[in-house]
Structure 1
């Protein structure tokens, strides 16, 4: 039996964390930063459990989290694991054991004080995909661990999952303790209609099916998905996906057990909210080498406001005493850009030349206005109120971009500008859909950008 020392928390919020060859100081900084944001822990994505860097990075993370109010649990990336081991043997998936390949790591860490415990008081284990393995494979694996776990896999690659077919529950019901849906975090590729951006409609049948069977649910929260990596080149609309989904999740918070933010540090997918370290990421990918040119940390204050509201069952608000928190984000090439020799990502046509923003104002705020300026021209002026406000006006021109928050008297109190200029060309040589994310600073100032 496992020696269980960890803790479980209601309404916990995690971030998906890619385990790479992180330096020790960077691994520790990730935990410190995540705690500042208000996260309860990391879901540790491990694609190849035999990779030489995995034991070292896990030791850095678990040792540092050991005496902190921050927990870690494994997310077995069975999709990547299957691809890795299949590539090394001619017999295909017969050489892969799926979850059993993680046994040595699980046995080493499941009893660690920094390991997160699920609502049943047992170690929480998740997955990325089913890896194509059968219910028997998972049942055998669970038995080998005396079923001493809270198993919350991401099985939305299995037939009938989103339809919540009765056959799905007959096949998988005895295997799972809860469910986690990854693909529901964004609209489908090529679908940028306003009704789909940020929607929780795909989650609802799964939430209801899980509840009907006495199972829990973890919902995904993300900004966008853009990648020209991992063998794919695609874009799934970002823009307002993050703030709209925040609003929608808060509307169903009572039906949820956990939230998982996708992701803390997956640079090639573009949906990171933390640092992307050079030693742990694919720095050959131009649009995030290694993320310094496209930092997304300015989203973190919005995430903190969301976490606080989710746990309190309230609306979003800035920290006590603060006027506002928020960010401005935009892609740095225009929709009519031409990138010689490059291929447009699937879903490119759903992109827009927009300045997307979200601002959370304190209770009692009134008469304030947000002004959006592109290359010196005002493209939007809108009144904002207490709580979460957002918008995504079009009309972006090449050059510097700026957001200003004004009082009812017209005084500029906060500004977001700087970062990379929007280009009418193609400076990275690819159809880059990653976002430049700019945080709010106190006071006014002129629009600026760097080429």
Structure 2
């Protein structure tokens, strides 16, 4: 029987996998030393959104320790109007919540100078908006990809400088932190074009495959950078495509970020609503990209609730005192080696990196006993005040249960009735089922 637990430290397996190489130039001085937590919001999944829908997202994110949405902008003609609604909602929210544009350069054209003008228009439109996120007094902007964009110039750096950042001056000046998918050793090549690097792939151990999982992996080792934005994500799986090692990833990744917080001014949660790849912490709403088969019924609000705890620790430099006892649990719906009866696509690549287990985080206000149970086995362990990570193997047909108790009194328990670890699924689904319970809600 395997029963593992961790007190405020990283899983040994994940520690070397989750370090990230960052920009090699000196870290820009941060006047206030303030830390920020963003969440990546896919505008392409908001076709049906009203201003009120945006307002609900903003208030929910703000209540859970998120400071701003990175609005991922693609090429659909209706997206500018949704951006307009988002900024209107942020202003209406009467909160400190901010927004900034993240250009999806896998969708937006970038071969000509005219293409760059479209990007600049977003910046100039919202530069003076009260809900625009600014850093060092400049309009903050980011990208997904863009490392091949020249905008008609001789090089990528020349294209971004002469057609984008260099033309945005005065109140429109931009603090540009793109996510260029290049070898970190080559960041210097783009130094003139960017103020920092959005390290997208630091969110997951992307090089871990089924065959390499048991190998000894070396940490890449964080080095000083200018404005480094690191990523945190609960999991990544795309039906019929790929899966990254992510069973215990979200709490473990957060802890590694908190340990290195002095060198990380910003963290971006991936994502708020990328349903297609299953890594969402926001509610299931809007217009899904035909992902209903593996998303509907798999709410991830437990991860969003847990985000607030880690966000406070990251921003303040110490873990917050736990006032109420909380249980967060998650598991995949079926065994990794299960055989689906009628799946036309098949399993994602490297499905073997996932573990057939129930994963639990307990936040306890005082020392307590934590019990994890399935239909097959039950185990209890003493836990200290604060955060503890636990796991228990799952077998086909298992139901799941967790509780926190002191003495003979159960303080809080969680036994989701709508979960059973399937033996023979109809179709494959490597998304995660999540649930939570709090002593505050009894």
Task: Place the TM-score, normalised by the shorter chain, in its bin.
Answer: 0.7 to 0.9
TM-score (norm 1): 0.81
- What do you get for the CA RMSD once the two structures are aligned? 2.7
Specify the alignment match of 1:349 in structure 2.
352
1:95 CA displacement: 6.4
Query: Which whole-Å deviations, capped at 9, do the CAs of 1:183-204 have from their partners, x for residues lacking one?
Result: 111112543778999x9944x4
Change (3 A) 1:194 1:360: farther
Q: Do the aligned partners of 2:276 and 2:291 also contact (CA within 8 Å) in 1?
A: no
Specify the alignment match of 1:360 in structure 2.
363
Specify the alignment match of 1:110 in structure 2.
127
Q: Do the aligned partners of 2:276 and 2:290 also contact (CA within 8 Å) in 1?
A: no
Cα distance in 2 for residues equivalent to 1:443 and 1:110: 42
Specify the alignment match of 1:175 in structure 2.
193
The answer as to 2:332 corresponding to 1:331 is yes
Note the 1:3-152 alignment, pairs <5 A: 10-19=34-43, 20-21=46-47, 22-48=49-75, 51-66=76-91, 67-82=94-109, 94=111, 99-118=116-135, 120-133=136-149, 134-140=156-162, 141-146=164-169, 148-152=173-177
1:235 CA displacement: 0.8
Specify the alignment match of 1:88 in structure 2.
none
SS at match of 1:389: strand
The answer as to 2:294 corresponding to 1:304 is no
1:23 CA displacement: 2.8
The answer as to 2:266 corresponding to 1:258 is yes
Q: Do the aligned partners of 1:316 and 1:360 also contact (CA within 8 Å) in 2?
A: no
1:394 CA displacement: 1.6
1:332 CA displacement: 0.4
1:379 CA displacement: 4.2
TM-score (norm 2): 0.82
Change (3 A) 1:360 1:98: farther
Cα distance in 2 for residues equivalent to 1:196 and 1:144: 48
1:382 CA displacement: 2.4
SS at match of 1:392: strand
Change (3 A) 1:32 1:444: closer
Query: Which whole-Å deviations, capped at 9, do the CAs of 1:227-277 have from their partners, x for residues lacking one?
Result: 12xxx6111122111111111111111111011111111111111111121
Change (3 A) 1:405 1:397: farther
Change (3 A) 1:27 1:196: farther
Q: Do the aligned partners of 1:76 and 1:99 also contact (CA within 8 Å) in 2?
A: no
Cα distance in 2 for residues equivalent to 1:280 and 1:237: 27
1:100 CA displacement: 3.8
1:111 CA displacement: 1.7
Specify the alignment match of 1:240 in structure 2.
248
Query: Which whole-Å deviations, capped at 9, do the CAs of 1:195-214 have from their partners, x for residues lacking one?
Result: 999x9944x44xx241xxxx
Cα distance in 2 for residues equivalent to 1:71 and 1:444: 30
Note the 1:336-415 alignment, pairs <5 A: 336-339=337-340, 340=342, 341-362=344-365, 365-366=366-367, 368-375=368-375, 377-407=376-406, 409-415=407-413
1:397 CA displacement: 3.3
Q: Do the aligned partners of 2:326 and 2:438 also contact (CA within 8 Å) in 1?
A: no
SS at match of 1:388: strand
Q: Do the aligned partners of 1:372 and 1:402 also contact (CA within 8 Å) in 2?
A: yes
SS at match of 2:313: helix
The answer as to 2:178 corresponding to 1:153 is yes
Unmatched tracts of structure 1, length 5 or more: 1-7, 83-92, 446-451
Higher relative contact order (CA 8 A, sep 6+): 2
The answer as to 2:222 corresponding to 1:221 is no
Q: Do the aligned partners of 1:125 and 1:150 also contact (CA within 8 Å) in 2?
A: yes
Specify the alignment match of 1:439 in structure 2.
436
Cα distance in 2 for residues equivalent to 1:45 and 1:381: 44
Query: Which whole-Å deviations, capped at 9, do the CAs of 1:144-164 have from their partners, x for residues lacking one?
Result: 213711111111x12x31xx3
Cα distance in 2 for residues equivalent to 1:314 and 1:444: 26
2:257 to 249, 255, 273: 249
How many aligned positions are there? 393
